[in-house]
Amino acid sequence: MRNYRHIEVRPVAGALGAEIRGVDISRDLETDVVAEIRQAFLDHLVIFLRDQTVTPHQQLAFAGKFGEPMAYPQLKGLPEAPMITAVVKLEHERNNFGGIWHSDTTYLAEPPMASLLLARELPPYGGDTLFANQYLAYDELSDGLKATLDGLVGVSSSAKADVTRTREDRMKAAGAEPKVMMAEHPIVRTHPETGRKALFTSDAHTSHIKGWTEKESLPLLRFLWDHQVRPEFTCRFRWQAGSLAFWDNRCAMHNPINDYHGFRRVMHRVTLAGDRPR
């Protein structure tokens, strides 16, 4: 296990995830502290910080130490901080935002590097988030299947029915018109910082394999979608007000659990710009 001099890092599961202690993100952090947080982020794929009392601008300032904040393509941000998207489920709503296993907005040519989600209002129970390690998902495939996947390209779409349904309440409330966006990415991508290979497909966004029909694609894709979220590849995070999750969109998927009907849940998300998957 890596030694950290400035922060305390406590893994939360064998597959991925670690809680970071001794950091107040409302403060101007020293360069060495920021460097260790980034290393923990790369080592554990998703990191969690508890008890953070910050303004939207302080959340943005912290996020900006690790990348370039970008706007969410489907919804406007907060009036006072346009690069922060409110992720909301209200008491009368049945669908939650992004309530399916996914990597964020892979229908963009350059999907995000990472997201930072801060809990503002929470239900009295439920609303946990699952995360899945896509390095492990790739590593556990047979050599024969790895060879089959080499060079295959997935076509991602913003219009797949399940994920569109999870956005529709927010888009209606904002008066937004949905736009269909599509992009092509390798089914297996190489992480630009660690050099490790990870599965990069999801039921939420991948419509088919390039050059294959949807009917031909689905048996292989469905196997991968089931495989990549096996329990031993995952961790589960129980939110508290002031909790921050910071995950690597290039090698980790997430799934917010929709088990709190009748209650309000309000989160603030900053998304960091990424590069074209290779």
Burial class (CB in 10 A: 0-12, 13-18, 19+), 211: exposed
Q: Which of 229, 24, 218 is nearest to 131 (CA)?
A: 229
Determine, yes or no, domain membership for 130: yes
Determine, yes or no, domain membership for 133: yes
Determine, yes or no, domain membership for 1: no
Contact criterion met (CB below 8 Å) for 66 and 114: yes
pTM (predicted TM-score)? 0.94
Q: Looking at residue 175, what is its pLDDT?
A: 55
Give Cβ neighbours of residue 195 (< 8 Å, ≥ 6 apart).
none
Determine, yes or no, domain membership for 278: no
Give Cβ neighbours of residue 4 (< 8 Å, ≥ 6 apart).
36, 39, 40
Cα–Cα distances (Å) from 65 to 32, 42, 132, in that order, read 12, 15, 25
Determine, yes or no, domain membership for 67: yes
Query: Averaged in consecutive runs of 10 residues, what is the pLDDT profile of the chain (278 residues)?
Result: 92 98 97 98 98 98 98 91 97 94 97 98 98 98 98 95 55 63 98 98 97 98 98 98 98 98 98 98
CATH number, position 171: 3.60.130.10
Q: Looking at residue 179, what is its pLDDT?
A: 82
**Each residue of 93-128: b (16+ CB within 10 Å) or e?**
beebbbbbbbbbbbbbeebbbbbbbbbeebbeeebe
CA 209 – CA 272 distance, rounded (Å): 27
What is the number of domains present in the chain?
1
Determine, yes or no, domain membership for 3: no
Q: Which of 184, 189, 186 is nearest to 135 (CA)?
A: 189
Q: Which of 246, 264, 266, 268 is nearest to 78 (CA)?
A: 268
DSSP state letter for 242 = T
Which amino acid type is present at position 75?
A: L
Contact criterion met (CB below 8 Å) for 100 and 204: yes
Cα–Cα distances (Å) from 123 to 89, 128, 246, 264, in that order, read 10, 10, 21, 6
Determine, yes or no, domain membership for 22: yes
Which amino acid type is present at position 189?
A: R
Q: If you search the block for the tokens 């209200």, which residue do you land on?
A: 90
CA 88 – CA 103 distance, rounded (Å): 18
Q: Looking at residue 161, what is its pLDDT?
A: 64
Q: If you search the block for the tokens 């993100």, which residue do you land on?
A: 25
20: phi then psi, degrees, rounded to nearest 5: -105, 130
DSSP state letter for 232 = G
140: phi then psi, degrees, rounded to nearest 5: -85, 0
Give Cβ neighbours of residue 104 (< 8 Å, ≥ 6 apart).
98, 111, 112, 115, 249, 271
Determine, yes or no, domain membership for 260: yes
Domain range for 179? 8-272
Question: Annotated catalytic sites, by residue?
Answer: 102, 104, 254, 269
Q: Looking at residue 140, what is its pLDDT?
A: 98
